Structure 1
Amino acid sequence: MSKFGKKKKGLPAVNTAALPDIVFMLLFFFMVTTTMRETELKIQTPKLPSATEVKKLEHKSLVSTIYVGKAKTEKQGKGDKIQLNDKIATAEDVPAFILNERTLVSEAEIPFMTVSIKADKKSSVGTISDIKLKLRDVNALKLSLSTQKGSEIKQ
């Protein structure tokens, strides 16, 4: 017999010293890159009309969005509904909404503010016209109508 026995060599233990650093790096990455949803839609998701010439909006922080579409539930009523932030409103509420949005930005940025209307393609032109008239009353003349890219010409 030999004095020194043969020992089985196993796999070395995994070094976990860098594991907390990696976890915190991933956590920090997802915290920085994730954006929270600003509004919860209380109308049906608008099916945007198609357009061939589309331009992306710049300075998203200066964009106020007005949603127009059909109500999700029967108790909200029938016809086109207007959503401002997280509540269903009427065209009469649009000027107050715009004036409130102006208080959230600096005085120098007010001329660069844009109002974006995200309307369902089956929405009434009268509803959108009412919104445009109310926007004109508060001198919110920079307007964008949201569309999706593509052409959908059917004859």
Structure 2
Amino acid sequence: MDILMIIKEASLGSFFSVINIAKIVIPLMIIMEFGRNYRVIDKISGYFEPFTNKIGMTSKASFPLLVGLIFGISYGSGVLIQSASEGDLTEKDQILLVTFLIMCHAVFEDTLLFVAIGAKGMMILIPRIIIAFILVLIVSKRILNEDENSRIRLNKFR
């Protein structure tokens, strides 16, 4: 009899967790589609240019960075690959974007999902952004250098 209660509680708990997650993910997906169709993301990414320049990326990297931050690594990597194949991103931009998005992607979705299960959103969001920023600065300043042919070479750590 106890096993049936456990199965019932696990099933109901899982069901309500999925409902809570759907309440967050579905509206975000709808917003993403509107943002993509009406080019809102293109306009917003212009505000990120000072940030991308500060961490060693060109202004063309702001759009893939913004997409990855908002919508996640899957969609962000798709935009990154498309931008790179069109020649919009330097090799350094690509490496720094991937480095940043590994640490900090889907900041709204992930944060809201954890908040839905009881976590404190700012305790998740702020450290992710700070750590990603510091890591990209380190990679940009200490590890990567562009030579005259715009090829990336790795420096040795000193």
**TM tier, smaller:** under 0.3
Higher relative contact order (CA 8 A, sep 6+): 1
Query: Which of structures 1 and 2 has the bigger CA Rg?
Result: 1
Which structure carries more strand by proportion? 1
TM-score scaled by length of structure 2: 0.22
